[in-house]
């Protein structure tokens, strides 16, 4: 049975709510490869922790180390609403609805066979962070130990990631998407003002504030996952975003559709999930900058390629092109 919200969205020229939300997000990542920076010790568990699979961890969104995660997008949204209100571009009634609507936690989209299905249940968001830059000094510095760089960088084929996750999550109340992070304030403003224009248009068809709040809260939840301050733009981050259904029965948490694990980090408990990728997802592994002679770098590259071969990967090994003395 079609709902009032579906009717409103159709009147606005969209086939579904998901199509509307997608219009005001950055384009889905379409690059052929992306890169994941990690430590030398973590690389071992990624490559060889589970037989026949490459394992990435995706941590729960609200437990990441950046304190602005989850609140930055709404802060920008409210700033732009204030600006539009002061210019007379939105009236007081709509302004009040917009700035007083929090992000939702109840929309999830998942696949059943070849079909897609939308269900409104509580969900938890998990993120795996990758980068567009395969040899970034700024990223290597996250893995510096004194004068040494302990990092490793794995190059992954995007289409192989997608096929692996589709197979892992099929038929479960789990959904994933891969988005580039939006850092530029101008682009964030463009997406927000475009969305608000649609919300203004919606008032012509239906004056029910609940419907407007439903659209706004869902869009805020989407932006929260991909909007970041321009101060982090050096990371050139691309995110694998996973929505995992969360159900309770009389206040008691029920079994998750996929296993959720926990780890300790700097005194905090971090929930995470394992992303199980096929071994052919890996294209290469790069060693961090080394302040040594080329012959030693070449020897380490050979050892790395031997290790990859013995672990069952057809990927190549390499070392950073960044030449540091210390």
- Who contacts 109 (Cβ-Cβ below 8 Å, separation ≥6)? 18, 116, 117, 118, 175, 243
pLDDT at 52 over 50: yes
Do the beta carbons of residue 303 and residue 295 sit within 8 Å? no
Question: Could you give the 3-state DSSP secondary structure of residue 186?
Answer: helix
* Mean pLDDT of the 216-242 span: 95
Asked, for residue 113, whether it belongs to a domain, the answer is yes
The pLDDT confidence band at residue 68, using thresholds 50, 70 and 90, is: confident
**Which of 102-106, 197-201, 234-238 has the least mean pLDDT?**
102-106
pLDDT at 325 over 70: no
The pLDDT confidence band at residue 113, using thresholds 50, 70 and 90, is: very low
- Alpha-carbon distance 271 to 65, whole Å? 13
pLDDT at 111 over 50: no
Asked, for residue 326, whether it belongs to a domain, the answer is no
Question: Could you give the 3-state DSSP secondary structure of residue 301?
Answer: helix
Q: What percent of the chain has pLDDT over 90?
A: 70
Residues spanned by the domain of 243:
4-319
pLDDT, mean over the chain: 90
Asked, for residue 324, whether it belongs to a domain, the answer is no
Asked, for residue 152, whether it belongs to a domain, the answer is yes
* Mean pLDDT of the 164-171 span: 95
User: pLDDT higher for 296 or 206?
Assistant: 296
Q: What is the pLDDT of residue 300?
A: 96
94: alpha, beta or left, given left = phi > 0 and alpha = psi -120 to 50? Answer: alpha
Q: What percent of the chain has pLDDT over 70?
A: 92
pLDDT at 244 over 80: yes
Asked, for residue 325, whether it belongs to a domain, the answer is no
* Mean pLDDT of the 132-154 span: 87
Helices and strands, number each (H, E), in the chain? 10, 16
**Which of 182-186, 253-257, 258-262, 313-317 has the least mean pLDDT?**
253-257
Asked, for residue 73, whether it belongs to a domain, the answer is yes
Asked, for residue 95, whether it belongs to a domain, the answer is yes
Q: How many Cβ atoms are within 10 Å of 267's Cβ, its own excluded?
A: 5
* Mean pLDDT of the 21-36 span: 96
* Mean pLDDT of the 210-234 span: 93
The beta-carbon contacts of 12-16 under 8 Å, at least 24 apart in sequence, are 12/198, 12/201, 12/202, 12/205, 16/118
User: What is the DSSP-derived secondary structure letter of residue 256?
Assistant: P
Do the beta carbons of residue 179 and residue 226 sit within 8 Å? yes
- Alpha-carbon distance 97 to 210, whole Å? 9
* Mean pLDDT of the 186-208 span: 92
Asked, for residue 84, whether it belongs to a domain, the answer is yes
**Which of 23-32, 117-126, 263-272 has the least mean pLDDT?**
117-126
* Mean pLDDT of the 111-137 span: 77
pLDDT at 1 over 60: no
**Which of 83-97, 135-149, 304-318 has the least mean pLDDT?**
135-149
If one counts the domains in the chain, the total is: 1
* Mean pLDDT of the 162-178 span: 94
pLDDT at 61 over 70: yes
Q: What is the pLDDT of residue 146?
A: 64
């Amino acid at each position: 049975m079609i709902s009032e919200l579906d009717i409103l969205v159709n009147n606005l020229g969209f086939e579904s709510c998901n199509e509307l939300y997608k219009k005001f997000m950055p384009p889905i990542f379409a690059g052929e490869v992306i890169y994941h920076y990690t430590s030398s010790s973590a690389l071992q568990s990624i490559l060889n922790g589970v037989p026949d699979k490459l394992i990435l961890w995706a941590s729960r969104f609200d437990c990441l180390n950046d304190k602005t995660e989850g609140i930055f997008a709404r802060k920008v949204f409210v700033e732009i609403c204030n600006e539009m209100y002061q210019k007379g571009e939105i009236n007081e009634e709509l302004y009040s609805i917009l700035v007083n609507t929090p992000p939702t936690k109840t929309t999830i989209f998942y696949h059943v066979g070849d079909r897609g299905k939308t269900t409104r249940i509580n969900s938890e968001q998990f993120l795996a962070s990758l980068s567009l830059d395969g040899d970034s000094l700024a990223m290597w510095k996250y893995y510096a130990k004194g004068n040494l760089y302990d990092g490793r960088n794995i190059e992954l084929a995007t289409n192989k990631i997608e096929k692996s996750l589709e197979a892992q999550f099929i038929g479960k109340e789990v959904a994933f998407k891969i988005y580039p992070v939006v850092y530029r304030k101008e682009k964030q403003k463009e997406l927000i003002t475009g969305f608000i224009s649609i919300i203004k248009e919606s008032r012509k068809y239906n004056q029910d504030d609940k419907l407007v709040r439903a659209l706004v809260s869902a869009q805020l939840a989407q932006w929260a996952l991909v909007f970041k301050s321009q101060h982090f733009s050096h990371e050139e981050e691309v995110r694998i975003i996973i929505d995992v259904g969360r159900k309770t029965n009389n206040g008691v948490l029920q079994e998750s559709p996929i296993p959720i694990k926990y780890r300790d980090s700097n005194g905090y408990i971090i929930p995470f999930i394992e992303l199980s990728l096929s071994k052919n997802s890996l294209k290469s592994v790069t060693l961090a900058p080394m302040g040594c002679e080329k012959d030693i770098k070449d020897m380490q590259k050979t050892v790395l390629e031997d290790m990859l071969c013995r672990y069952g990967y057809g990927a190549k090994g390499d070392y950073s092109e960044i030449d540091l003395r210390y």
